[in-house]
């Protein structure tokens, strides 16, 4: 399976709603893996966007 098959959102721009959802999930303390699954985006994509927005993503507990 390629990356694009795993994540249908591959290389697509972030929408305002997605950014808001990321902020919400991050402030709830969700892990990177959980956020990735919930948003159907790769962990790398989540990390990159979080860095842009200066968000802290929880480590796995």
Give the pLDDT of residue 12. 81
Looking at residue 9, its pLDDT comes to 59
Spans of all domains in the chain: 13-61
Does the pLDDT of residue 5 top 70, yes or no? no
Question: What pLDDT is attached to residue 3?
Answer: 46
CA distance 56 to 50: 7
pLDDT, position 51: 95
Render pLDDT for 10-57 as a digit per residue (tens, 0 to 9): 678 999 999 999 999 999 999 999 999 999 999 999 999 999 999 999
Terminal-residue alpha carbon distance, the chain: 29
Rounded to whole angstroms, the Cα distance separating 12 from 42 reads 11
């Amino acid at each position: 399976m390629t990356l694009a098959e795993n994540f249908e959102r591959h290389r697509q721009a972030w929408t305002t709603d997605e950014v808001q959802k990321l902020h919400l999930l991050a402030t709830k303390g969700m892990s990177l893996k959980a956020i990735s699954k919930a948003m159907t985006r790769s962990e790398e994509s989540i990390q990159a966007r979080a860095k842009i927005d200066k968000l802290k993503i929880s480590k796995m507990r």
